[in-house]
């Protein structure tokens, strides 16, 4: 199954991606995670992406698309994948469509996670990420009082782009550049939206129920 998750920063894409991908036995491909790994590893790609990410702007399409093409060409993505954070604008969506057509494939479904702006700011201000396994936590909702990952013992860190002024800019970028994807995919007939508020497990159940009609 080939799935795209779309939704504003903090909608819970990364959180839900880990559960949905594991349930469907497909790889989770998060462009934000790949960029962050390259920034912390000091690669050329990371060097190109860092300034844009720190400001909350999109990394240029040519850099992002080349990276996604490489990742989707790997063996584990041949029969399905869940994309988190890509596409991020209409040109990326059009390129993805062409790329998949070259491989005689197409997207099955685009799942929109719907949350309001106040909830997004609350979620991002308390987000912590494990530097070892990548698990996403929240200081209040998960009652995290220390900076140790309960899953693997790794250290939890706060993302640089979760500062309030950068979050506000990321939300503007979402409205201007990414939100048009909702009507793009609605016109393609493959968009489903779910309410992404409430406990994480309930959102996962809603997501899987919404995806079920698109499964083989």
- Catalogue the E-assigned strands of 47-184: 81-84, 109-114, 127-130, 136-138, 156-157
What part of residues 93-122 is at the interface with ligand AP5 (CB under 6 A)?
A: none
The answer to the question of residue 59 lying near ligand AP5 (CB under 6 A) is: yes
Whether 88 sits among the annotated catalytic residues: the reply is: yes
CB of 212 to ligand AP5, least distance (A): 20
122 as an active site residue: the answer is no
User: Can you tell me which residue has the tokens 């929109």?
Assistant: 112
Contact of 24 with 82, CB cutoff 8 Å: yes
Give the residue from 84, 113, 81 showing the smallest Cα distance to 202.
113
CB 169 within 8 A of CB 124: no
How many residues make contact with ligand AP5 (CB under 6 A)? 35
**159 among known catalytic residues:** yes
Helices 31-41 and 61-72, interaxial angle, to 10°?
Answer: 100
Residue with tokens 């990276």: 67
Round to whole Å and give the CA distance between 181 and 86.
Answer: 11
The answer to whether 155 is a known catalytic residue is no
**138 sits near ligand AP5 (criterion: CB under 6 A):** yes
**Residue 19 binds to ligand AP5 (criterion: CB under 6 A):** no
Strand order in the sheet with 127-130: 136-138, 127-130, 156-157
Kindly indicate which of the ranges 20-28, 40-48, 81-89, 95-103 contains the residues binding ligand AP5, using the contact rule CB under 6 A: 81-89
Residue 134 interacts with ligand AP5 (CB under 6 A): yes or no: no
81 near ligand AP5, rule: CB under 6 A: no
Nearer to ligand AP5, 24 or 197 (CB): 197
CB of 168 to ligand AP5, least distance (A): 12
CB 28 within 8 A of CB 82: yes
C-beta of 206: minimal distance to ligand AP5 in Å?
10
Candidates 48, 127, 128, 135; catalytic one? 127
**What residue is closest to ligand AP5 based on CB?**
32
Residue spans of beta strands (DSSP E) within the chain: 2-6, 28-30, 81-84, 109-114, 127-130, 136-138, 156-157, 191-195
Per CB under 6 A, residues contacting ligand AP5 are 7, 9-15, 31-32, 35, 52-53, 56-59, 64, 85-86, 88, 92, 123-124, 126-127, 136-138, 141, 161, 170, 198, 200, 203
Catalytic site positions: 13, 88, 127, 159, 170
């Amino acid at each position: 199954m080939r799935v795209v998750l779309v939704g504003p920063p903090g909608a819970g894409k990364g959180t839900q991606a880990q559960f949905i991908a594991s349930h469907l036995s497909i790889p989770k491909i998060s462009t934000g995670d790949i960029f962050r790994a390259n920034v912390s590893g000091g690669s050329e790609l990371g060097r190109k992406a860092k300034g844009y990410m720190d400001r909350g702007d999109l990394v240029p399409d040519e850099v992002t698309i080349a990276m996604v093409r490489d990742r989707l060409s790997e063996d584990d993505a041949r029969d399905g994948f869940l994309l988190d954070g890509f596409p991020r604008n209409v040109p990326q969506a059009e390129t993805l469509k062409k790329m998949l057509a070259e491989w005689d494939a197409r997207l099955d479904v685009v799942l929109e996670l719907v949350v309001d702006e106040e909830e997004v700011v609350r979620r991002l201000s308390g987000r912590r990420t494990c530097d070892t396994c990548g698990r996403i936590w929240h200081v209040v909702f998960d009652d995290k009082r220390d900076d140790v990952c309960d899953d693997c013992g790794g250290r939890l860190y706060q993302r640089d782009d979760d500062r309030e002024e950068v979050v506000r800019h990321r939300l503007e970028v979402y409205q201007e550049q990414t939100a048009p994807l909702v009507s793009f995919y609605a016109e393609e007939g493959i968009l489903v939206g779910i309410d992404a508020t409430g406990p994480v497990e309930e959102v996962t159940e809603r997501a899987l129920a919404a995806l079920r009609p698109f499964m083989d």
